[in-house]
Amino acid sequence: MKSVLCEMLGIDYPIIQGAMAWVADADLASAVSNAGGLGLIGTGHDPVEVVKHKIRDMKAKTDRPFGVNIMLLNMHVDAVVDEVCASGIKVVTTGAGSPGRYMEKFKAAGITVIPVVASVALARRMEKEGADAIIVEGMEAGGHIGKATTMALVPQIVDAVSIPVIAAGGIGDGRGMAAAFMLGAVGVQVGTRFVVAKESNAHQNFKQSIIKAKDIDTVITGQITGHPVRVLRNKLTREYLQAEKEETSKPVPDLGRLEKIGQGALRKAVVEGDKDYGSMMAGQIAGLIKKEETCQEIIHDYMTVCKHTIANVASVWAD
């Protein structure tokens, strides 16, 4: 089951690993690439020296295709873009903004550019500015999100652009992958399930929180700061959402107070395993994830279940 995405990226299976900040290091990304998917190094808020180290580490761990994700809210983004362009990286994904101003640099470096978008308008703009494909991320996803769901957004963007579309957000197994193909996507990006991969260095407490999570255990913080983020519910989110409610009712909300509550919380979750005051970014599909597996097992499961799902549905709907 090869798709145009496999040809475009030189991979065996049309599965991209999401570039979860603090989680998507060379250990996880190389395991995904070595299993035939596209591993992505996440660079989050990293300064350029850290990015350099991660790329070097990745090159030592895989000979297969991989990419780097650039988080556009990173204060070091200009330097990170220059480093990525200079280091022979072949694939770049971007998140949390529009990469328009870097597009020429990426293209000049021969990079395949795949922006993550959460709206039809940005998808159209990205195609016009030279994106090679687009990752359409619905608000079921973990971390920084837009407003529309994967189910609603993917077909609208498939109709709006001519470049390949990859679906993301809420795709936790081969059934979700099959559904994404039905909507017109040619591949999927998977985040939350790879957080609990055996090769993921996320703290065991964070992994267990995802495994224990139920369908409605995520909440969205940051609605009033303009950076909505989906995370697992805990003491931090209870206090944050209470503060958000208080600030919303004031004539001049104190956004600094909200930012302070969330500061450093992602590292606390991923590195320290703080289940109470860590920001445990995870998608709504966490409730479907039941165990730790290797990246190879995860990819194999997606592909097998996807093929069976499509075959079963086709046989039911024949004639």
* Cβ distance to ligand TUI smaller for residue 148 or 306: 148
Does 44 interact with ligand TUI (rule: CB under 6 A)?
Answer: yes
Does 97 engage in binding with ligand TUI (CB under 6 A)? Answer: yes
| Range in contact with ligand TUI (rule: CB under 6 A) among 33-41, 110-118, 206-214, 284-292 | 110-118
Site map (CB under 6 A) of ligand TUI, residues 67-86, x = contact: ----x-x-------------
Q: Which of 8, 21, 111, 299 binds ligand TUI (CB under 6 A)?
A: 21
167 binds ligand TUI (CB under 6 A): no
User: Does residue number 220 form part of the binding site for ligand TUI (CB under 6 A)?
Assistant: no
Q: How far is the CB of 131 from ligand TUI (least distance, A)?
A: 12
Among 188, 179, 123, CA closest to 151: 179
b/e map 90-127, b = 16+ CB within 10 Å: ebbbbbbbebbebbebbbebebbbbbbbbbbebbebbb
Region near ligand TUI per CB under 6 A, out of 7-15, 27-35, 47-55, 138-146: 138-146
Nearest to ligand TUI of 19, 85 (CB atom): 19
Query: What is the nearest approach in angstroms of ligand TUI to the Cβ of residue 84?
Result: 16
Q: Which of 89, 96, 232, 286 binds ligand TUI (CB under 6 A)?
A: 96
State in angstroms the smallest separation of the CB of 146 from ligand TUI.
5
| Dihedral angle, C-alpha 89, 94, 99, 104, nearest 10 ° | 20
How would you class 82 by CB atoms within 10 Å of its CB: exposed for 0-12, middle for 13-18, buried for 19 or more?
middle
The rounded distance, in Å, linking the Cα atoms of 183 and 177 is 10
Strands of 218-221's sheet in order across: 143-144, 229-232, 218-221
Helix/strand/coil for 173: coil
With CB under 6 A as the contact rule, the residue among 23, 28, 55, 117 that binds ligand TUI is 117
Q: Which residue, among 188, 154, 159, has the nearest Cα to 171 in the 3D structure?
A: 188
Under rule CB under 6 A, which residues in 259-288 are in contact with ligand TUI?
A: 281
In angstroms, rounded to a whole number, what is the distance separating the alpha carbons of residues 145 and 158?
19
Question: Is 305 exposed, middle or buried (CB count within 10 Å of its CB: 0-12, 13-18, 19+)?
Answer: middle
Nearer to ligand TUI, 257 or 308 (CB): 257
* Closest approach of ligand TUI to the CB of residue 125, in Å: 8
Shortest separation between residue 46's beta carbon and ligand TUI, angstroms: 11
Residue with tokens 């808020």: 45
Rounded distance, CA 270 to CA 24, Å? Answer: 11
- Count interface residues toward ligand TUI (CB under 6 A): 20
Side chain identity, residue 212: K
- Closest residue to ligand TUI: CB criterion: 143
d(CA 134, CA 164): 6
Judge whether 74 and 80 are in contact, CB under 8 Å: yes
Min dist CB 316 to ligand TUI, Å, is: 35
CB 303, min distance to ligand TUI, A? 24
Judge whether 20 and 51 are in contact, CB under 8 Å.
no
Q: Which stretch, 46-54, 103-111, 144-152, 301-309, contacts ligand TUI (CB under 6 A)?
A: 144-152
Q: What are phi and psi of 15, to 5 degrees?
A: -125, 125
Site membership for ligand TUI, residue 55 (CB under 6 A): no
Cβ proximity to ligand TUI: between 145 and 310 the closer is: 145
**134 is an interface residue for ligand TUI by CB under 6 A:** no
